[in-house]
Amino acid sequence: MRSLRWLGNSRHSSIPAWRGAASAGLVLLGLSAGCGGGQPPAAAPCAPGEPPATVAAPTPAAPTPAEADAFIAAFNAELTQLLDESDRTSWVKATYITDDTEALEAKAHARLMEFLARKIKQARRFEGLPLRPETQRALYLLRYSTDLPAPHDAARRKELAELASKLEGLYGRGKACSPKFKGHGKDKQSECLELGELSEILAKSSDWELELEAWRGWHGISREMRPMYERFVELGNEGARELGFADVGEIWKGRYDMSAAAFSADMDRLWGEVRPLYEALHCYTRKKLRARYGAEKIPVGAPIPAHVLGNMWAQEWTNLYPLLEPYQGRGTADLTPALRAKKYDAMKMVRTAEGFFTSLGLAPLPQSFFERSLFLKPRDRSVVCHASAWDVGLSGDLRIKMCIEVNQEDFVTLHHELGHNYYFLYYHDQPALFQSGANDGFHEGVGDTLALSVTPKYLKAIGLVDKPEESPEAALNLLMHRALEGIAFLPFGKLIDEWRWDVFSGKTKPSEYNAAWWALREKIQGVAPPLARSEADFDPGAKYHIPGNTPYVRYFIARILQYQFHRALCKVAGHTGPLHTCSIYGSKAAGDKLRAMLELGASRPWPEALAVLGETRLDASALKEYYEPLMSWLAQQNAGERCGW
């Protein structure tokens, strides 16, 4: 995960978009002789250890393709070294949050940020040269490799790195207190709860007021982030402009083998394809919630209050499954009781998820994975519980960090995290710049694909359920459970970065942060704040990826792509019949195909990686095929209901 933060992805066009910025201009500015090229212009101070740009240097020889090759080779070597330091400090910080570990992490990040910005500027001297395709691609990936571009000014760079570390730390340490929480936490006396405990209230309770208090509490933790985030945006944009981008969002959107504008148009196209499915699910869910809470609280034709969907961000609604189950008690769509009945613990869940990958003929995880990962929430210190997968220093030192609870949600998340680890494992032989997903949606989609293969047959094969029901009713229940995860998520997956793109571009001003957030949530997700909000609040900060500065549209891509992966691998595995009944468990042929795609890393534009599986373009056709039976059922249920908001 951490490595992914620094390494970007690919683009389709073999002619990079930044070509056309006059390469002769670099020489005219004298930048290639100084500390890195690009901006700021000559008078700016250099990074430590570099000659100042103002020193009169002999006119440099014109760059050559061979020099570009050597530049990339040296970059890859130095990056690996810097990542080793930065990943280790990040690991220690994320598993033991203190002022000291935050400071150490910020220092290492500042160094890495300086390095990346300097190299991105230097690399511009190779623009326009007739380069080897691998070098051309590496330069493209390098240009888009940073999620947080560093300002050249050392003091401001340090400030930005410290802000990044503190923001994530604030989230990790977050707690909410209220007399109403007494008896609801792990410590029954405590009135102060952490995110996991507050989430448990939203998952289990149908007491409107208690849920509201949990929601209010957690959304209070991010208020103090607001001024920090505002400055964070300012400094990140300063770094982006120095690299020749309009703002940070342009870097984030530019890494998909197409122009930033084409990319956001493509995301809109995909949303248009899946929107009817979301609206049908929203409509049915709202009807059931109205029956639970009454029409005054859940009005007809209006957005749903955000605190009653079973999840802190209303991003996945699986906790509402008991309310929404189409055929009461049929099948085993909810695995939590089975996991508990069969006495699964964190390690058994990890081993079971690993077992899925090895059943495909993929390698077992290294012993060090089991020794170095964090599987359980420590009792005595603050950690960043939000799950992540790591390849520390791109060295094959694979780990996950996750506060595993024995429930279905975490079982699915484990497959998700191991998907990252197997990507790390199989692209490990690529040069550092290619050690990344074909695009970041691919990285997020691997484990999620396997989770679709958790069918009744699979459950029987691993002995988690002894006699799973295989009937159309049980299948429909399973589809409902999956939809509450995968379809409910889609608008949320899209809107987070819509908000951030507008924040980075300045379209959304700091004085409108919260209002713009809720406008998007209402418009796209059909969800409303359950309490009056103001610009004293900073609700985006209550979602990890905002203080964690992790781009989010990758999950939107993944939640569409995973069905394409599933359809392609099921075909290879020889599956016949409806797509939702397929499990690739045990198929070596599917494993070989998957491995072939993973091994490519980011070495080729993503459509080529998709073509390895036999798919031609990113679209929602597989997702629609998968959910077809549920959609027909929902259409009947929603007859006569006023859908939409």
Residues that bind Zn ion (CB under 5 A): 444
514 and 538 Cβ atoms separated by less than 8 Å: yes
Tokens for 540, please give them.
């985006």
Q: Which one, 157 or 386, has the nearer CB to ligand X8Z?
A: 386
147 interface partner picked from Zn ion, ligand X8Z, none, CB below 5 to 8 A per type: none
Compute and round to an integer the Cα radius of gyration of the chain: 25
Q: Which one, 446 or 579, has the nearer CB to ligand X8Z?
A: 446
Indicate whether 555 belongs to the interface with ligand X8Z (CB under 6 A): yes
71 and 122 Cβ atoms separated by less than 8 Å: yes
Measured from the CB of residue 557, what is the shortest distance to ligand X8Z in angstroms?
A: 11
Measured from the CB of residue 444, what is the shortest distance to Zn ion in angstroms?
A: 5
388 interface partner picked from ligand X8Z, Zn ion, none, CB below 5 to 8 A per type: ligand X8Z
- Please write down the long-range contacts of 161-164, taking CB distance under 8 Å and 24 or more positions apart: 161/106, 161/107, 161/109, 161/110, 161/113, 162/102, 162/103, 162/106, 163/228, 163/231, 163/232, 163/235, 164/106, 164/109, 164/232, 164/549
Tokens for 607, please give them.
């459509």
One of 387, 392, 404, 516 touching ligand X8Z (CB under 6 A): 387
Measured from the CB of residue 354, what is the shortest distance to Zn ion in angstroms?
A: 17
**Of 510, 542, 460, 501, nearest in space to 265 by CA:** 501
Measured from the CB of residue 71, what is the shortest distance to ligand X8Z in angstroms?
A: 31
Measured from the CB of residue 416, what is the shortest distance to ligand X8Z in angstroms?
A: 6
One of 237, 413, 514, 583 touching ligand X8Z (CB under 6 A): 413
DSSP string, 345-371: -HHHHHHHHHHHHHHTTPPPPPHHHHH
Indicate whether 388 belongs to the interface with ligand X8Z (CB under 6 A): yes
The count of residues interacting with ligand X8Z (CB under 6 A) is: 6
387 interface partner picked from Zn ion, ligand X8Z, none, CB below 5 to 8 A per type: ligand X8Z
Q: Which one, 76 or 388, has the nearer CB to ligand X8Z?
A: 388
Measured from the CB of residue 450, what is the shortest distance to ligand X8Z in angstroms?
A: 14
Indicate whether 476 belongs to the interface with ligand X8Z (CB under 6 A): no
250 interface partner picked from ligand X8Z, Zn ion, none, CB below 5 to 8 A per type: none
Measured from the CB of residue 420, what is the shortest distance to Zn ion in angstroms?
A: 6
Q: Which amino acid is at 270?
A: L
- Token pair 């990826």 is at which residue? 545
Measured from the CB of residue 391, what is the shortest distance to Zn ion in angstroms?
A: 13
289 and 308 Cβ atoms separated by less than 8 Å: yes
158 and 122 Cβ atoms separated by less than 8 Å: no
Report residue 271 CA to chain centroid gap: 18
Distance of alpha carbon 449 from alpha carbon 591, whole angstroms:
12
**Of 322, 339, 315, nearest in space to 521 by CA:** 315
319 interface partner picked from ligand X8Z, Zn ion, none, CB below 5 to 8 A per type: none
- Token pair 């459950």 is at which residue? 459
555 interface partner picked from ligand X8Z, Zn ion, none, CB below 5 to 8 A per type: ligand X8Z
Tokens for 429, please give them.
């032989």
Q: Which one, 101 or 413, has the nearer CB to ligand X8Z?
A: 413
Tokens for 289, please give them.
């919630």
Tokens for 119, please give them.
């190299």
411 and 335 Cβ atoms separated by less than 8 Å: yes
Indicate whether 385 belongs to the interface with ligand X8Z (CB under 6 A): no
Q: Which one, 446 or 573, has the nearer CB to ligand X8Z?
A: 446
Indicate whether 484 belongs to the interface with ligand X8Z (CB under 6 A): no
Indicate whether 416 belongs to the interface with ligand X8Z (CB under 6 A): yes
Indicate whether 585 belongs to the interface with ligand X8Z (CB under 6 A): no
Q: Which one, 5 or 137, has the nearer CB to Zn ion?
A: 5
119 and 186 Cβ atoms separated by less than 8 Å: no
Q: Which one, 402 or 568, has the nearer CB to ligand X8Z?
A: 402
Q: Which one, 247 or 497, has the nearer CB to ligand X8Z?
A: 497
List contacts with ligand X8Z (CB under 6 A). 1, 387-388, 413, 416, 555
